[in-house]
Amino acid sequence: MSEVAEAPVLMPAKRRGAQLAMLAFAVVIVMGAYANVGLALDGAIPSGMLTYGLGLGGFMLAAYLVLAKFAPWADPLILPLVTVVNGLGLVMIYRLEAAGARGASATNQLIMTGAGVVLFAITLIVLRDHRTLQRLTYTAGFAGLFLLISPLIPGLGKSVNGATIWIGFGPAIIQPAELAKIALVIFFAGYLVAKRDVLALAGRRLLFIDLPRARDLGPVLITWAVSLGVLVLQKDLGSSLLLFGTFIVMLYIATQRTSWVLIGILLFVGGAFLAGQIFDHVHARIEVWLDPGNPEFFDRELGGSAQLMQGLFAMGAGGILGTGLGQGHPYLIPLSFSDFIFPATGEELGLTGLMALLMVYALIVQRGLRTALAARDPYSKLLAGGLSFILAWQVFIIVGGVTNLIPLTGLVTPFMSQGGSALLANWILIALLVRMSDSARRPPPQAIQNEGMTQVFQR
Amino acid sequence: MNGTLKRAAVACLAMFALLMINVNYVQAVRADHYSEDSRNQRNYYARYAVERGRITAGGKVILAQSVEKKDGDFRFLREYPDGKLYAHITGFFSPESASNIERSENALLDGSSSDLLLRRSIDLFTGEPTRGANVDVTINPKAQRAAYDALRESGKRGAVVALDPKTGAILAMVSLPTYDPTELSGTDKGKVFPLYDKLAKDKGQPLLNRNIDRTYPPGSTFKVVTAAAYLEDDSSRGPQTVVDAPQVLQLPNTTASLPNYGGAACGSGQVPLVYALEKSCNTPFGKIGMELGYDKMQEQAKKFGMGEQIGIPMSVAQSSFGQKEDQAALAQASIGQRSNQMTPLQMAMIAAGIANDGKVMKPYLVNKITDSKGDSVEDAKPEELTEAVSSETAGKLREMMVSVVNNGTANLAQIPGVDVAGKTGTAETSNGQPPHAWFISFAPANDPKVAVAIIVESGAANVGAEATGGHTAAPIGKAVMEAVLNK
């Protein structure tokens, strides 16, 4: 594409010192939050603060060192921002566990954070050039699809809280959709880069939009069918919305065709409407969204609004400044440490804290999108754009859901919610963004003047 | 591809903007709506998050206090060291409701009252947690104890109230059966609510403060009011004025008649007023009531404070002389029967009004309120409620009531060395239960320090003597007055 050459390549500094300082600052914020919780709950600095603080600090230092060695030109902001969010999630889980929330385990989450950092490092070390992923397009596609439907395989899938989105090996259960989403974004990027010319250009004009050819609708329809399948068979509204929305946006980015977006929205709204008519669980979510305070819904055992209302009560109790860490009652919300960690944080850190948190998420997404803009080839652009968007879209779906902006669909809040699969997947996602920002910001190789036209490329 | 990427970036920003706007809406605009929702348990925890003020008596004795618990969702729990004794004064503080002082003075006790704004502002700057104001009640712990013990000894349900006639301060207020407010002030709804339901359904109605929450026919104690109306009607009348006292009073327009207690004769049939009161004859007072007419009787009843809305601060049930009916009804109402219904507090106010030269003081329970640092927020100011009778009439009534104690039905209330004025009563109840025993009194007669009213429900059972009210209720009155007078 011609735009690629349009933007002159800036010569960014490495800013490794700034990154280290920011990282230290992020760890200090998290340590302060730990101290805060301990002082509020027991009137003393918690004994585990050093373990947790140094643990987190150690992991992040390791991540930094790997990054400095293997991706020295990477965006300096991404890692510190992720550290703050991940750390605050740890603090909230620690606080909820201390209050006796069933199932909350800060130790587990810290271990999974460590594992996430290890995967981050492995991804950076092994994947020296993300474009090798382009060769794995269809492999990624099949892997993603398999992961997505794996919970439906008898003997492997586990149904928790009405949604069949887990697979279990003995005591360990993982949520494959979280890993599937990365594999599928890799697939979408590779597929769309290969096919985008035909998807973008063929077709005819009807009224004021360019309609694609019917046979080019194939991939869209397949993705749509898979998304609806996830919705219907696994009762997982969140993943369904997440995947289809991401696909449509990537399609749009690749083809610049608004008609794809319109077709996608029509298909999804139509599908969701039908699903709402046919399937109780979808219908219930929409009912609850429209009138969460209704006592009938509040008292309903399955698909009721009690959890949502508890979240809203928590946020209301937090008000503008919050109750202070350790001083509210966020543990009253069912699953306060996973899906509802955002309202739980809202109670104790208040509107102020949530605005800051949303700002941090927005910054991570914008750093990712900057990487996409600065990338030098279409595949990198599409992959970075897709990964950034899926992160933003996931935050929007879950945060919008728990704050009743949109119907509630279960998804984890990236980096905050307790849950290993999501944490690991998101650390890999960040590693990919870091890898791409490294190659985007790396200065182009200089021509060696003495040797005429010969250029040396850095691998 | 950069153009579409930029548009995607704008879309992402728009999504975050929507989230931020919505979070603002939830946490800033809708916050109050959510905090008021009854399903929000935080209200329930918030009840226990503040250190409520103490309720004390006489500035020293602690009736209720908040004790800090180190663990759990509930920071401060309410304790009532002598719960059963003071239950009808302090009330309880349960997960969703409260009663009596705990309810009436809630805003001060939990520190949310606007009167405490200054204190809260100071606390905000000094970083101290908000604490509620302390409420000191007018109760005299010794008198309260004496009343409680004496009434319990009777083994019956009943009520005792003692006033300072000169101020209206409530010195003792006991209602039996009682309950333990500590149990009702627990945080476990699963325990508290069934217990409350059980108490509410209990036939003995322990939750009721019989002094103010319900009325009884006052029986012969009301003859004091009839006598007051009679004396007020003509200032030349006095204790020695001779009144008609037939053995049976024929009631007009009906076959019914009004006998004396037990059908006994009342002297020679022509007796001095004081004798009629001493012996508590029915016929002279029935006749007086009919002669004076409904309007004058009703007028006198109102002058003693009946029909006034009174809050002590708990609101007091309305006492009433009864609707205007026929002469027969009037005669019966004039001796405290028929539709004549009085709260024990109202009867104590009648005794106190006579004691205080005819002036009825407004009864009150809160002596003073001080903030957590001991600075005064509110001090009780005694208020005159009504002027019931002239000073002369009050003097004549006092003389007669002293005579009732010295020579009449209330001899069990005599206190050595102190002139006691009193009047007994035996109130028939409609449902065939044994009659209630009443006693109203004040002492010392020449410089009254305490006025009391006592009712012992069905307390006149199995007592054949004429002076049944005197037999069970008068000794209780004596015990309370002795406690106040330090005898």
pLDDT band at B281 (very low <50, low <70, confident <90, very high): confident
Instruction: Return the H-helix or E-strand segment holding B190.
Output: helix B189-201
Contact B290, B331 (CB under 8 A): yes
- Model pLDDT, residue A393: 95
- Please report how the helices A49-70 and A106-126 are oriented relative to each other, as an axis angle in degrees rounded to 10: 10
**What is the number of structural domains in chain B?**
1
Distance, CA of B121 to CA of B398 (rounded, Å): 53
Q: Pick from B3, B42, B73: which is nearest to A313 by CB?
A: B42
Phi-psi region of B53 (alpha: psi -120 to 50; beta: other; left: phi over 0): beta
Mean pLDDT of B275-294: 88
- Model pLDDT, residue A149: 83
Q: What is the DSSP letter of A455?
A: B
Contact B17, A356 (CB under 8 A): no
Mean pLDDT of A34-45: 84
Which chain B residue has the Cα nearest residue A374? B2
Three-state SS at B451: strand
pLDDT band at B110 (very low <50, low <70, confident <90, very high): confident
Which chain B residue has the Cα nearest residue A362? B16
Please name the residue ranges forming H helices in B92-188. 100-104, 106-109, 117-126, 141-154, 181-184
Amino acid code (one letter) for A137: T
What DSSP assignment string belongs to B207-231? T--TTTS--B--GGGGHHHHHHHHH
Residue with the larger pLDDT of the pair B48 and A91: A91
pLDDT band at B121 (very low <50, low <70, confident <90, very high): confident
Residues of A in contact with B3 (CB under 8 A): 3, 256
pLDDT band at A3 (very low <50, low <70, confident <90, very high): very low
pLDDT band at A236 (very low <50, low <70, confident <90, very high): confident
Q: Which residue range is the domain that position B256 belongs to?
A: 219-366+382-485
Active site residue B220: yes
Q: Per the domain annotation, does B416 fall within a domain? A: yes
Distance, CA of A371 to CA of B169 (rounded, Å): 80
Contact B429, B436 (CB under 8 A): yes
B16/A361 Cβ within 8 A: yes
Kindly report the CATH number assigned to the domain that includes residue B312: 3.40.710.10
Q: Per the domain annotation, does B31 fall within a domain? A: no
B19/A396 Cβ within 8 A: yes
- Model pLDDT, residue B487: 66
Contact B277, B404 (CB under 8 A): yes
The position carrying tokens 């429900």 is B457
Quick one: tokens of B13? Answer: 């920003």
Distance from CA of A386 to the nearest CA of B (A): 10
- Model pLDDT, residue B268: 82
Mean pLDDT of A160-170: 66
Quick one: tokens of B241? Answer: 């004025």
- Model pLDDT, residue A164: 67
Q: List pLDDT tens digits, range A185-214.
A: 999 999 888 888 877 777 666 666 666 677
Which chain B residue has the Cα nearest residue A378? B1
Q: Which of B20, B21, B24, B27 to mutate to test the interface with A (most CBs of A within 10 A)?
A: B27
For residue B368, report the phi and psi dihedrals to the nearest 5 degrees: -160, 160
Which chain A residue has the Cα nearest residue B24? A351
Mean pLDDT of A260-266: 84
B42/A400 Cβ within 8 A: no
Taking 50 as the threshold, does the pLDDT of residue A4 lie above it?
Answer: no
- Per mean pLDDT, which range of A420-429, B342-351, B432-441 is the poorest? B432-441
Q: Per the domain annotation, does B172 fall within a domain? A: no
Between CA B302 and CA B314, with CA B308 as vertex, the angle to 5 degrees is 145
Distance, CA of A268 to CA of A414 (rounded, Å): 24
Q: Per the domain annotation, does B100 fall within a domain? A: no
Q: Per the domain annotation, does B21 fall within a domain? A: no
pLDDT band at A457 (very low <50, low <70, confident <90, very high): low
Q: List pLDDT tens digits, range A245-254.
A: 998 899 899 8
- Interchain contact B122–A (C-beta under 8 A): no
Which of B220, B334, B372, B441 is catalytic? The answer is: B220
- Model pLDDT, residue A454: 60
Q: Per the domain annotation, does B228 fall within a domain? A: yes
Residues of B in contact with A249 (CB under 8 A): 8, 11
A351/B5 Cβ within 8 A: no
- Per mean pLDDT, which range of A10-24, A354-368, B222-236, B313-327 is the poorest? A10-24
pLDDT band at A302 (very low <50, low <70, confident <90, very high): confident
From residue B8, alpha-carbon distances to A151, A185, A260, A401, B252 in Å are 32, 15, 14, 21, 100
- Model pLDDT, residue B465: 45
Return the number of CB contacts < 8 Å for A and B.
142
- Model pLDDT, residue B467: 43
Scan residues 11-70 of B and list those with Cβ closer than 8 Å to A.
Answer: 11-13, 15-16, 18-20, 22-24, 26-28, 30-35, 37, 39-42, 45
Q: List pLDDT tens digits, range A388-421.
A: 999 999 999 999 999 999 988 878 899 999 988 8
pLDDT band at A381 (very low <50, low <70, confident <90, very high): very high
Maximum alpha-carbon separation in chain A: 81
Q: Specify which residues B442 forms β-bridges with.
A: B421, B451
Q: List pLDDT tens digits, range A117-128.
A: 999 999 999 998
Three-state SS at A328: coil
Taking 60 as the threshold, does the pLDDT of residue A1 lie above it?
Answer: no
Distance, CA of B50 to CA of B369 (rounded, Å): 17
Q: List pLDDT tens digits, range B64-100.
A: 988 887 766 778 888 899 888 999 999 998 888 888 8
To the question of pTM greater than 0.90 for the whole model, the response is: no
Q: If you average pLDDT over every residue of chain B, what do you get?
A: 87
Taking 60 as the threshold, does the pLDDT of residue B464 lie above it?
Answer: no
B12/A369 Cβ within 8 A: yes
- Model pLDDT, residue B349: 93
Burial track A286-305 (b if 16+ CB lie within 10 A, e otherwise): ebbbeebbeeebbeeeebbb
A362/B12 Cβ within 8 A: yes
How many percent of chain A have pLDDT more than 70? 88
